[in-house]
C-alpha cells in the first residue's frame, strides 16, 4: 500500500515538473503581443468597434496565472463623440493555479488605472452601448444554457473564493444625455479594497468627484468601512460604515444573507446637518422660513430589516430642530405593496417653516388663491386605487396657522380605491374635535363624505389666533354631516350637501352692536342724531341654529339668540358657488335698552326689529332694516300702547298737530291716519324713509 502511494506521489511530482517546465517554455517562447492584430480583428468582427493596443500585453504562469495589459482603447459607436468609448492606462490580474484543483479560487491583486468610460444617449434615445448589448445577447443566452447544463450534469462547484485586494485609481465615467440636455460626470474615482477571504474582515474605501447639471452638484463623496464575507454561511457583513457627501455624514452597519433565502438588516445614523446648507450645495435656492433657525439642525437614526419581497422599519427617530419624530412600519409584497405605518410627533411649530411674513403683516389664515382664468383641475388620484395602507398618526402638540392643537390622533386606511380616516380626534382651546371621513376615487369625480363634532371649544381665542379677529365668542358645540364630489374648490362648493348645527353659549358677536344699531335707527325715525360711539359687541347667553346644504346652497330657518337685552331669531340663505348671502335676523327687545347717553326706550319692548345681512359672503353688509321696522311699527303687528309713539313720529316727521285737519285732508280719529282729498295725490311722508 505504501509503495503504491509512493508511486502516485512520484507520478504527480513528475506531472507538476512537466507543467511548470511547459509553462516556462510557453512564457519564454510565446509573445502575446504577436496576437494583438488578431484580437483587434476579432473585436472588430464581433462589435464593429476598433480596439487599439498602445501598450504591451504580458502574462505569467506558475504559481499565478496572470495577465498585464498596457494602454488600450475601444472605439465609440458611429455618430457619437469622442472617438473612444473606453480607455485604460494599465490593468493587471492574476489567479493562483494549484488551488483551482480543489475548487478554490484565489485571486491576486486586481489593479486598474486610468479607466475612462464615455457614455451617451442621442436625441433619438439611442445609446452608444446599444449595439454592444444587442450583439452580446445571443452569446449570453448560449452561455447561460451551458451553465444550466453543467449544473444539471453535476459539474464542479466553487468551494471558496479569496482576493488579495482591488485597487482602482484615476477612473472617470461621463454620461451625456442629449435628450434631456443633462450631463453627469464621475471623475478621479478611487477604490481600494483589502484582502478578501471567507471569514476575513477587510477594509474598503471609495471616493470620487461627482458633478451634475441638474440638480447642480459638485462634491466628492467618500464611502469607507469594513466588510466580512462568510461564504460557508452565505453572509456578508459591513461595519464601521461611513458615508460623507456635502454636509451629510451617514454611519452605521449592514448585514445580508444570500444563501437559500435573501434577507438583510441595517442600522444607520445621519449626523446633525443643515437642510438649508444642503439645498445651497445642491444649487437650489434655500428655503426662507419665518424662523431663520428652522431646518438648521436635522438628524436621524433608522433600524430596518427585510427580504427580497418586503421590508420592516423597526424604528425611525428623526430630530427636526426642537421636534422629535418617531416611526415604525412595514411594506409587504413589493409587487402590490401593503404599507403599515405608525408615526408620532411630540411637539412641532409648523409656522416656523412657513415663508416669512412681510413687515407689518398680521398673522392671518392664508387667503384663497387668486383666479387665473384657468379653472383648477382635479388631482390625479389613480395611485390611490392600488394603495393598501394602514397608518396611524399621533401628535402631542401642533402649532399651525397660529392655532395651538394638542393630542392629535388620526388613523387612515386605504383599500380598493377607498381612503378612510377614522377616527380623527384632537383637543383645542379647552374643547375637543372628533371626526371621520371617506374618499372614494373610483368614480370619474372622487366622492367624499365627512362627519364631525366640535364640543367645548372657546370660539374667541380660536378665531383670534386663526384670523387675528375674534368675530364670535362663546363656548362652541358644532355638529356636521356632509358629502360631495370633486376636490377642486369650485366642485366642492357646487356639490356640498348635508346638515350642520351649532350652539354657542355665554358669548358675544363682535363687530356689531345690535343695541346701538336699534337706538340709532330709532333716533333716525325721530329725527335725532345717532348716539355716541360704543364698543361694537353684542353679548348673548345662547346662539343656536341649524342648516341644510344642498349642492352648495345653505338654508337656515331657526337661528335663535338669547341675551339679557334681546331675543333674536333669523332665517335666510347663503350660496357658496355665487359667494352671496341674504339673511334676515329679527331682534326683539326684552330688557332695558339704555345707551351711554342714558336714554331708555322702554316703548320698543316686544316690537320686532329686523337686521339685514346681505351681499358678498366673505364681506357682507349688516344693517338695521328700517323699511321692515316701519312696517312692524305701523302695520298690523303694532301693539296696544304704541299710539303715542305713532303720534309723536307723525308730529316729528310730518309737522303740525296730528289730531286736526290739515291742508292735505282730515283726521280719522279711529285710526289716527289722514285720508287725502280725492282731488289730490296721496302723500307718503314715510316713503323715502322706508324704501
Task: Based on the fold, state whether residues 182 and 328 are members of the same structural domain.
Answer: no
Residue 128 has pLDDT above 50, yes or no: yes
Domain end residue (candidates: 356, 384, 411): 356
| Banded pLDDT at 593 (limits 50, 70, 90) | low
Q: Are 35 and 171 in a shared domain?
A: yes
Mean pLDDT of 307-314: 94
User: Is 194 in the same domain as 276?
Assistant: no
Q: What is the pLDDT of residue 590?
A: 78
Given a cut of 80, whether residue 316 has pLDDT beyond it is yes
The confidence score (pLDDT) of residue 20 equals: 52
Q: Look at residue 397 and tell me if it is in a domain.
A: no
Confidence of residue 687 (pLDDT cuts 50, 70, 90): very low
pLDDT number for residue 633: 60
Q: Is 680 within a domain?
A: no
- Are 543 and 627 contained in the same domain? yes
Work out the mean pLDDT of the chain and round it to a whole number. 80
Q: Among 11-20, 35-44, 656-665, which is the least confidently predicted range?
A: 656-665
Q: Which of 356, 377, 406 is the last residue of a domain?
A: 356
Residues 47 and 103 in one domain: yes
238 within domain boundaries: no
Residue 454 banded pLDDT, cuts 50, 70, 90: very high
Query: Residue range 168-194: average pLDDT?
Result: 92
Render the burial of 183-217: b for 16+ CB within 10 Å, e for the rest: ebbbeebebebbebbeeeebebebebebebeeeeb
Pairing of strands 537-550, 580-589: unpaired
Write down the pLDDT at residue 361: 55
User: Measured between alpha carbons, how far is 97 from 119 in angstroms, rounded to an integer?
Assistant: 36
Whether residue 139 lies inside any domain: the answer is no
pLDDT at 239: 96
CA gap 422, 429 in Å, rounded:
22
Q: Are residues 460 and 346 in the same domain?
A: no
Considering the domain architecture, whether residues 526 and 610 belong to the same structural domain is answered as yes
* Higher pLDDT among residues 369 and 606, named by residue: 606
The verdict on 58 and 166 lying in the same domain is: yes
- CA–CA gap between residue 74 and residue 132 (Å, rounded): 12
Q: How many CB atoms lie within 10 A of CB 547?
A: 18
pLDDT band at residue 10 using 50, 70 and 90 as cut-offs: low
Same domain (yes/no): 48, 99: yes
- Spatial neighbors of 683 by CB under 8 A, at least 6 apart, are 664, 676
Q: 17 or 95: whose pLDDT is higher? A: 95
Going by C-alpha positions, the residue among 58, 60, 90, 85 that lies closest to residue 72 is 90
**Residue 191 and residue 59 share a domain:** yes
Residue 44 lies in a domain: yes
**Under a CB-based contact definition with an 8 Å cutoff, are residues 566 and 577 in contact?**
no
Predicted confidence at residue 147, as pLDDT, reads: 46
End-to-end CA distance of the chain: 135
Ranking 153-157, 197-201, 411-415, 518-522 by mean pLDDT, the lowest is 153-157
Which of 237, 110, 225 shows the shortest CA–CA distance to 162? 110
Q: Which range, 22-31, 373-382, 488-497, has the best average confidence (pLDDT)?
A: 488-497
Tell me what pLDDT residue 349 has.
96
Backbone angles phi, psi at 131, to 5 degrees: -65, -30
Whether residue 673 is contained in a domain is answered as: no
Angle at 82 between CA 77 and CA 84, to 5 degrees: 65
pTM score of the predicted model: 0.73
User: Which among 33-37, 112-116, 161-165, 524-528 has the top mean pLDDT?
Assistant: 112-116
Q: How far apart are CA 198 and CA 416, in angstroms?
A: 49
Residues 549 and 646 in one domain: yes
Instruction: Print the domain residue range for 276.
Output: 246-356
Q: Read off the pLDDT band of 186 (50, 70, 90).
A: very high
What proportion of the chain, given as a percentage, has pLDDT over 90?
43
pLDDT value for 635: 55
Q: Could you tell me if residue 441 is inside a domain?
A: no
Domain boundary among 293, 323, 356: 356
C-alpha cell recorded at residue 483: 358629502
Q: Can you give the three-state secondary structure of 258-284, one letter per residue?
A: CCCCCEEEEEEEEEEECHHHHHHHCCC
Query: Is the pLDDT higher at 166 or at 638?
Result: 166
At residue 209, the pLDDT reads: 93
Using pLDDT thresholds of 50, 70 and 90, give the confidence band for residue 622: confident
User: Is 235 contained in some domain?
Assistant: no
pLDDT of 527 > 80? The answer is no
Q: What is the pLDDT of residue 43?
A: 85
Across the range 155-169, mean pLDDT stands at 74
What are 439-449's pLDDT values in tens digits? Answer: 999 998 999 99
Q: How many domains does the chain have?
A: 3
Sign of CA dihedral 460, 463, 464, 465: positive
Please state which of the ranges 394-403, 522-531, 554-563 shows the lowest mean pLDDT.
522-531
My answer on whether 213 and 68 are in the same domain is: yes
Rounded distance between C-alpha atoms, residue 535 and residue 512, angstroms: 8
Amino acid at each position: 500500500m505504501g509503495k503504491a502511494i509512493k508511486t502516485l506521489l512520484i507520478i504527480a511530482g513528475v506531472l507538476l515538473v512537466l507543467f511548470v517546465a511547459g509553462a516556462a517554455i510557453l512564457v519564454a517562447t510565446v509573445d502575446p503581443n504577436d496576437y494583438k492584430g488578431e484580437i483587434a480583428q476579432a473585436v472588430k468582427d464581433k462589435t464593429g468597434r476598433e480596439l487599439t493596443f498602445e501598450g504591451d500585453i504580458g502574462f505569467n504562469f506558475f504559481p499565478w496565472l496572470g495577465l498585464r495589459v498596457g494602454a488600450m482603447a475601444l472605439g465609440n459607436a458611429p455618430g457619437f463623440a469622442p472617438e473612444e468609448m473606453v480607455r485604460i492606462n494599465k490593468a493587471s490580474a492574476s489567479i493562483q493555479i494549484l488551488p483551482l484543483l480543489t475548487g478554490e479560487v484565489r485571486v491576486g491583486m486586481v489593479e486598474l488605472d486610468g479607466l475612462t468610460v464615455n457614455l451617451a444617449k442621442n436625441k433619438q434615445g439611442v445609446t452608444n452601448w446599444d449595439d454592444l448589448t444587442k450583439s452580446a445577447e445571443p452569446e449570453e443566452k448560449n452561455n447561460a444554457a451551458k451553465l444550466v447544463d453543467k449544473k444539471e450534469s453535476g459539474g464542479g462547484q466553487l468551494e471558496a473564493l479569496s482576493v488579495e485586494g482591488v485597487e482602482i485609481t484615476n477612473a472617470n465615467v461621463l454620461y451625456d444625455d442629449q435628450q434631456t440636455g443633462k450631463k453627469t460626470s464621475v471623475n478621479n474615482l478611487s477604490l481600494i479594497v483589502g484582502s478578501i477571504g471567507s471569514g476575513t474582515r477587510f477594509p474598503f474605501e471609495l471616493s470620487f468627484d461627482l458633478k451634475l447639471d441638474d440638480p447642480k452638484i459638485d462634491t466628492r463623496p467618500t464611502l469607507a468601512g469594513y466588510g466580512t464575507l462568510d461564504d460557508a454561511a452565505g453572509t456578508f457583513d459591513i461595519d464601521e460604515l461611513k458615508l460623507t457627501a456635502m454636509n451629510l455624514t451617514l454611519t452605521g452597519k449592514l448585514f445580508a444573507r444570500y444563501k437559500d433565502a435573501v434577507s438583510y438588516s441595517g442600522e444607520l445614523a445621519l449626523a446633525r446637518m443643515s437642510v438649508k446648507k444642503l439645498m445651497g450645495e445642491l444649487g437650489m435656492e434655500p428655503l426662507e422660513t419665518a424662523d431663520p433657525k428652522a431646518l438648521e439642525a436635522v438628524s436621524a437614526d433608522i433600524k430596518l430589516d427585510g427580504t427580497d419581497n418586503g421590508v420592516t422599519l423597526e424604528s425611525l427617530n428623526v430630530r427636526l430642530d426642537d421636534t422629535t419624530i418617531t416611526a415604525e412600519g412595514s411594506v409587504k409584497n413589493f409587487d402590490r405593496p401593503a404599507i403599515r405605518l405608525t408615526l408620532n410627533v411630540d411637539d412641532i411649530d409648523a409656522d416656523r417653516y412657513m415663508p416669512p411674513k412681510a413687515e407689518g403683516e398680521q398673522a392671518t389664515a392664508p387667503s384663497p388663491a387668486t383666479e387665473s382664468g384657468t379653472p383648477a383641475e382635479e388631482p390625479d388620484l389613480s395611485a390611490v386605487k392600488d394603495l393598501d395602507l394602514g397608518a396611524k398618526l399621533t401628535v402631542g402638540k401642533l402649532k399651525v396657522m397660529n392655532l395651538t392643537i394638542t393630542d392629535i390622533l388620526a388613523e387612515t386606511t386605504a383599500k380598493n380605491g377607498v381612503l378612510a380616516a377614522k377616527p380623527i380626534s384632537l383637543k383645542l382651546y379647552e374643547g375637543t374635535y372628533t371626526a371621520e371621513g371617506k374618499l372614494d376615487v373610483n368614480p370619474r369625480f372622487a366622492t367624499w363624505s365627512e362627519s364631525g363634532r366640535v364640543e367645548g371649544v372657546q370660539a374667541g381665542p380660536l378665531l383670534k389666533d386663526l384670523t387675528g379677529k375674534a368675530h364670535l365668542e362663546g363656548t362652541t358645540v358644532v355638529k356636521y354631516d356632509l358629502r360631495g364630489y370633486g376636490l377642486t374648490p369650485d366642485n366642492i362648493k357646487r356639490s356640498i350637501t348635508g346638515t350642520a348645527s351649532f350652539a354657542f353659549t355665554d358669548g358675544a358677536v363682535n363687530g356689531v352692536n345690535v343695541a346701538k344699531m336699534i337706538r340709532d335707527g330709532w333716533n333716525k325715525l325721530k329725527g335725532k342724531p345717532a348716539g355716541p360711539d360704543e364698543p361694537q359687541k353684542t353679548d348673548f347667553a345662547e346662539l343656536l341654529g341649524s342648516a341644510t346644504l344642498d349642492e352648495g346652497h345653505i338654508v337656515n330657518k331657526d337661528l335663535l339668540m338669547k341675551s339679557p337685552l334681546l331675543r333674536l331669531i333669523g332665517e335666510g340663505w347663503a350660496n357658496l358657488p355665487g359667494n352671496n348671502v341674504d339673511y334676515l335676523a329679527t331682534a326683539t327687545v326684552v330688557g332695558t335698552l339704555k345707551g351711554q347717553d342714558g336714554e331708555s326706550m322702554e316703548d320698543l319692548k316686544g316690537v320686532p326689529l329686523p337686521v339685514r345681512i346681505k351681499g358678498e359672503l366673505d364681506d357682507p353688509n349688516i344693517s338695521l332694516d328700517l323699511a321692515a321696522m316701519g312696517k312692524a311699527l305701523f302695520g298690523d303687528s303694532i301693539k296696544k300702547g304704541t299710539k303715542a309713539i305713532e303720534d309723536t313720529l307723525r308730529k316729528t316727521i310730518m309737522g303740525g298737530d296730528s289730531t286736526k285737519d290739515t291742508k292735505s285732508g282730515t283726521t280719522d280719529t279711529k285710526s289716527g291716519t289722514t285720508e287725502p282729498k280725492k282731488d289730490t295725490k296721496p302723500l307718503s311722508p314715510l316713503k323715502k324713509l322706508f324704501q
